[in-house]
Amino acid sequence: MAALPQWAQAAGLLALCAILFVVGLGDRGLAYSEGHRVGPAWEMLDAGMPWEAGDAWLVPRLFETPYLRKPPAMMWAIATSSGLLGKTEFAARLPSAIAMAVLVLVSWRVTTRWLGSPWGLAAGAAQALFPVFWSSARSAEIEMLHAACAGIAALLVADALLRRDRLGWLSALGAGVALAGMALAKGPAGLPVVAAVLPAACIVRWSIGVIARPSLALVLVVPGLVLGLVSWAMAEALGRVHGPVITQDVGEFLWEGSKIGRILTLPGAAWASMLPAGLALFLFLPRRRAERPESGEATGLPPRAERVGRVLALAWLIATLTYAAIGVSNPRYTLPAGTLLPPVVAAALALWRTRAEEGGLRGPRRGAARVLWLAWPGSWIIVLAVGFVGFLVWYEAPRGRTSGDEAGAGLAAVLERETTRSPSGAGADPRGPIVWADQLVECRPEVLLYARRWNPLVRARWNKPLESVEPAVGDILIVRTDRHALGDAEPTERERCTPMLGHAERVHAFDVHKYSFEVYAVRSSPAVDDPPAARTPEPTADPTGP
């Protein structure tokens, strides 16, 4: 049977991605940390296009506070998508779906070049049907964009090493561009995956000469130039920022004594999260002498395909061990390594197809083949299709019900009422009171985003810590009251804010998921006897920003 034309394969994979990652993308409210990506993106958009918004696109801001816990690539992507499609949940999540689709196409293309058809199609389908990626590909988070860029860079580095024509420099160039995207999405977190391909290729070929290719310099030169330019522009913009900047220490995700057990078990946990594709790794274990073909005996699989499977399987192992060595404890952070496995699955399929059922496979390889194919490789398509429906019903839908959309609508109504009670007259700000929050922004920022959707006059500002703010009469304070994740002796945010709340009236309370909050309206000033008119506090950032 002739293989499908290349265009038909690509169209089929894109259709599969549309079904899995685009349909129903906007049917649920923002939840968990999606607001931390969407909020800065929409503030960029409020400031205008990049060429007319001053520093707004270079220094992301979340509720008017400079927010640099993560690089800005995902925020740029969401802002672009929202500028074209509107400020909706669909537009916010679409960049992740697109990133997944591009990764699927790259996996298909390079595997087709390595193994031919239909094995490239199998790799693309395996990537799209990879359960561990489903949630990230349907969320407004940085994980999918980062994993896609890291995976594309790693696959193109492997392609530059494996292809025999004179166009290896194109693969190296593409890897450099993807590496720059990876760094702008989440910093160097995916670097172990890209770097692991090099020693894996040397070990499989038993030669360091395999990486002695001048074109590989592009993998470093391109991201170096891009990151240098972006870093310079952001540094210049930050020099014009006044007030605090929210950042995050990368050490928070690395070695920690209380997590030593999880760090040591990370490789096993990462492998389990990669099932069923992880089973394909066993087919490319080093073979015992009894399993190796005698001199002149055919292997049943083209040597090139055998080499591809071993290089990428070994690269996955090296990358995962590297994550454990630097102290990563959460298997979720090994997601970029999973992008190496779909071509391994395709190589394993080729191995299965070119042998009489499992003839020639012994030991763990034979057992892995039995489990991996469920007697017939197409069985997994049915299993994963059913699994995807279960994912939507029992995972995605419950997560959507934790959204702060309803709480935001309720808060908007309260703020509209309070706006009519805020001071007016000379010096009063016609836009109404300022809403001050800290823990609400840390835990569920989408509440304020939805409040602003229902009441565009809502002016929210993030002040960290909240007790350090000096609110004006008429301003609103939102304090967290629950003790989730707090130590026995650690005060709640409400307890820390008790002095300032003595001059405020509680006007509302709401719950979002596992968090509880109270809303207070400032009725008098602690500083003077006669409350001043509503005022606008000193800006915490460059006035040219959003």
Digit-coded pLDDT (tens) for 57-100: 999 999 999 999 999 999 999 999 999 999 999 999 999 999 99
Domain ends where: 365, 397, 429?
Answer: 397
Q: Do 456 and 363 belong to one domain?
A: no
Is 1 part of a structural domain of the chain? no
Q: What is the pLDDT of residue 401?
A: 95
Residue with tokens 């087919």: 283
Q: Do 144 and 203 belong to one domain?
A: yes
Q: Do 257 and 192 belong to one domain?
A: yes
The most distant pair of C-alpha atoms in the chain lies apart, rounded to whole Å, by 98
DSSP 8-state assignment for residue 240:
T
Residue 476, helix vs strand vs coil: strand
Q: What is the pLDDT of residue 381?
A: 82
Q: Do 356 and 426 belong to one domain?
A: no
For residues 119 and 16, the answer to whether their CB atoms sit within 8 Å is no
Average pLDDT over every residue of 406-412 = 96
Q: What is the pLDDT of residue 396?
A: 96
pLDDT band of residue 533 (cuts 50, 70, 90) is very low
pLDDT band of residue 209 (cuts 50, 70, 90) is confident
Is 479 part of a structural domain of the chain? yes
Is 546 part of a structural domain of the chain? no
CA R_g for the chain? 27
Name the helix (H) or strand (E) containing 511: strand 504-512
Average pLDDT over every residue of 185-201 = 96
Q: How far lies 231's CA from each of 11, 70, 218, 375, 457, in Å? A: 38, 13, 19, 53, 34
Average pLDDT over every residue of 376-404 = 90
Question: Mapped to the 3 state alphabet, what secondary structure does 136-183 carry?
Answer: HHCCCCCHHHHHHHHHHHHHHHHHHHHCCCCCHHHHHHHHHHHHHHHH
Burial of residue 240 (CB within 10 Å: 0-12, 13-18, 19+) is middle
Q: Work out whether strand 504-512 and strand 515-522 pair parallel, antiparallel, or are unpaired.
A: antiparallel
Average pLDDT over every residue of 404-415 = 96
Q: Do 150 and 231 belong to one domain?
A: yes
Please list, in sequence order, all residues whose beta carbon lies within 8 angstroms of the beta carbon of residue 391, skipping any fewer than 6 positions away: 131, 134, 135
Residue 62, helix vs strand vs coil: strand
Question: How far is it, in rounded angstroms, from Cα 15 to Cα 451?
Answer: 36
Q: Do 358 and 415 belong to one domain?
A: no
Q: Do 84 and 59 belong to one domain?
A: yes
Average pLDDT over every residue of 334-341 = 98
Q: Please tell me the total count of domains within the chain.
A: 2
Burial of residue 427 (CB within 10 Å: 0-12, 13-18, 19+) is exposed
How many residues in the chain? Answer: 546
pLDDT band of residue 207 (cuts 50, 70, 90) is confident
Burial of residue 465 (CB within 10 Å: 0-12, 13-18, 19+) is exposed
Domain span at residue 173 reads 6-397
pLDDT band of residue 2 (cuts 50, 70, 90) is low
Structure tokens at 175: 């890897």
Strands, sheet with 476-480, edge to edge from the N-terminal-most edge strand: 459-462, 434-437, 476-480, 515-522, 504-512
Q: Do 368 and 417 belong to one domain?
A: no
Assess whether pLDDT exceeds 80 at residue 292: no
Interior/surface letters 359-389, b for 16+ CB within 10 angstroms, e for the rest:
ebbeeebeebbeebbeeebeebeeebeeebe
For residues 334 and 320, the answer to whether their CB atoms sit within 8 Å is yes
Residue with tokens 């292997």: 299
CA 539 to chain centre: 31
Q: What is the pLDDT of residue 540?
A: 41
- Helices then strands, each counted (H, E), the chain: 22, 7
Is 529 part of a structural domain of the chain? no
Is 527 part of a structural domain of the chain? no
Q: Which residue has the higher pLDDT, 526 or 429?
A: 526
Percent of the chain with pLDDT over 70: 86
Could you give the dihedral angle defined by the CA atoms of residues 320, 324, 329 and 334, in that order, rounded to the nearest 10 degrees?
Answer: -20
Out of 176-190, 227-241, 331-345, 414-428, least confident range: 414-428
Q: What is the pLDDT of residue 129?
A: 95
Assess whether pLDDT exceeds 50 at residue 427: no
Q: Render pLDDT for 314-323 as a digit per residue (tens, 0 to 9).
A: 999 999 999 9
pTM for the full model?
Answer: 0.91
Is 257 part of a structural domain of the chain? yes
Is 423 part of a structural domain of the chain? yes
Assess whether pLDDT exceeds 80 at residue 284: yes
Name the helix (H) or strand (E) containing 517: strand 515-522
Average model confidence (pLDDT) across the chain: 88
Q: Do 113 and 205 belong to one domain?
A: yes
Q: Do 81 and 158 belong to one domain?
A: yes
Q: Do 272 and 149 belong to one domain?
A: yes
Q: Which residues pair with 62 in a beta bridge?
A: 65
Q: Do 62 and 100 belong to one domain?
A: yes
Assess whether pLDDT exceeds 90 at residue 488: no
Is 297 part of a structural domain of the chain? yes
Phi, psi of 63 (to 5 degrees): 50, 50
Residue 149's closest CA among 202, 69, 222, 232? 222
